[in-house]
Amino acid sequence: MARRCRSSGGGNVPGLAVAAPSWLLVVTVVLAGVADGQLQVGFYSKSCPGAESTVASVVRQAGSADSTILPALLRLQFHDCFVRGCDGSVLIKGGGGSAEVDNSKHQGLRGLEIIEGAKTQLEAQCPGVVSCADIVALAARDAVAFTGGPSFDVPTGRRDGKVSNLRDADALPDVHDGIGALRSKFRANGLDEKDLVLLTAAHTVGTTACFFLQDRLYNFPLPGGGRGSDPTIPPGFLSELKSRCAPGDFNTRLPLDRGSGGVFDTSILRNIRNGFAVIGSDAALYNDTATVDVVDSYSGLLSNFFGPYFRQDFADAMVRMGSIGVVTGGAGEVRKVCSKFN
Ligand code: HEM
């Protein structure tokens, strides 16, 4: 599982690589390959050499025309990988409302047409070779880099799944989830508390619709009974949020990372620590010792100098997320069109 972060300072060197005997290294590499489901960096280097540059160029062009598409593409990979694994199932349309993508958990999902656009170009270059699931993973990686995040290698070789079920998306994490539910949904996908914090920090870029704040601002179950505003929101911030999102306003959008939206940095974690999380699930990360420690470790002023290194660790977490439930080898298919099974 070769991978490296190409831009961030200070990588993590796995302890084993320091003084382990060579046979142990071989075993480790083999096991890592198995854990990744046989994905490998540069999987298309012979079969479709222009695959990665084509996706990058499509994403770059889309981002120049509309920079908000970049965070949308990053979110798209999360939604692909957490439902049936990273198999492109979220891209399937049709079925009279019974496709996975029709589930309300995918509310506001965008960027599917960018994936389809890249697919059309790749089908012209190398028909039947590059999977839609890989295009989703590469596009998310490029979106991270183009918003100022780390550049990193993404192992490829995913194949497209052949199932799309409305109800499968019920398993996605939700803004109403408490920290226990978030932890168990990540654990169900082989990701731990550190991954939960690192990956949620993707909210450093991007926006949310007021739709996802309505309950937190106006319909939150209060400890003494009744409904109102989430009492953990500091009063000044509550007024700010209410002035942006009036009752019943579902469509206005606001940055998830207050004061630093659109810039890839760790300010989202400082915001979470200081009570300025915009959506409830981000706020929940500061409700549990395990995740509080992770938030604190990356949001301290000195972590940029002495680690842990957010950019490197975020890239590694993205690679782990991109390996969830992958379909490889002879299983699945390589779709001709991303929104339809062959
Ligand atoms: C922990 C559970 C998570 C929950 C409950 C959650 C929820 C949300 C919600 C409600 C939005 C606003 C969507 C909209 O209004 O369009 C959003 C946006 C976003 N999410 Fe998450 N998210 C989670 C984890 C993640 C992860 C793991 C990633 C990627 C690694 C991610 C990446 C994004 C991005 C980039 C946006 C901005 C999208 C845009 O601007 O169009 N999220 N998320």
Q: In this structure, what CATH number is given to the domain that contains residue 151?
A: 1.10.520.10
Residue 2 has pLDDT above 80, yes or no: no
pLDDT in tens, 218-255: 999 999 999 999 999 999 999 999 999 999 999 999 99
Q: How many residues does the chain have?
A: 342
Pocket test for ligand 1, best of 66, 75, 113 (most atoms within 8 A of CB): 75
Q: Who has greater pLDDT, 34 or 335?
A: 335
> Does ligand 1 have an atom closer than 6 angstroms to the CB of 203?
yes
Last residue of a domain, one of 154, 171, 188: 171
What residue type is 114 in one-letter code?
I
| Structural domain contains residue 28 | no
Report how far apart, in Å, the C-alpha atoms of 53 and of each of 58, 59, 97, 131, 247 are: 9, 10, 34, 15, 45
Last residue of a domain, one of 171, 201, 229: 171
Same structural domain, 111 and 227: no
> Does ligand 1 have an atom closer than 6 angstroms to the CB of 324?
no
Same structural domain, 123 and 206: no
Chain centroid to CA 280: 17
Question: Which residue owns the Cα nearest ligand 1 atom 18?
Answer: 208
Same structural domain, 301 and 187: yes
Residues 59 and 67 sit within 8 Å (Cβ to Cβ) = no
What is the reported pLDDT for 22?
43
Annotation marks residue 106 as catalytic: no
Q: Ligand 1: distance of its center to the CA of 127 in Å?
A: 33
Report how far apart, in Å, the C-alpha atoms of 133 and of each of 140, 219, 338 are: 11, 38, 9
What is the reported pLDDT for 37?
55
What residue type is 80 in one-letter code?
D
Per DSSP, the three-state class of 270 is: helix
Q: What is the mean pLDDT of residues 10-18?
A: 29
Nearest atom of ligand 1 to the alpha carbon of 82: 27
What CATH number did the domain enclosing 279 receive? 1.10.420.10
Same structural domain, 192 and 313: yes
Q: What is the mean pLDDT of residues 60-77?
A: 98
Residue 11 has pLDDT above 70, yes or no: no
Per DSSP, the three-state class of 327 is: strand
**CA pair distance 114, 69, nearest whole angstrom:** 9
Nearest atom of ligand 1 to the alpha carbon of 109: 16
Number of domains in the chain: 2
Q: What is the mean pLDDT of residues 177-204?
A: 98
Question: Which residue owns the Cα nearest ligand 1 atom 9?
Answer: 208
Select which of 79, 106, 141, 320 is catalytic: 79
| Structural domain contains residue 331 | no
> Does ligand 1 have an atom closer than 6 angstroms to the CB of 295?
no
Residue 97 has pLDDT above 80, yes or no: yes
What is the reported pLDDT for 284?
98
pLDDT-derived band at 304, boundaries 50, 70, 90? confident
| Structural domain contains residue 316 | yes
Tokens describing residue 238:
């509550």
Q: Ligand 1: distance of its center to the CA of 256 in Å?
A: 9
**CA pair distance 148, 171, nearest whole angstrom:** 31
Same structural domain, 72 and 195: no
Nearest atom of ligand 1 to the alpha carbon of 174: 5
- Residue 133, domain extent: 41-171
Same structural domain, 74 and 159: yes
204 is in an annotated binding site: yes
Whole-prediction pTM: 0.91
Q: Ligand 1: distance of its center to the CA of 203 in Å?
A: 6
pLDDT in tens, 114-130: 999 999 999 999 999 99
pLDDT in tens, 20-30: 344 343 343 33
| Structural domain contains residue 67 | yes
Residue 1 has pLDDT above 60, yes or no: no
What is the reported pLDDT for 71?
98
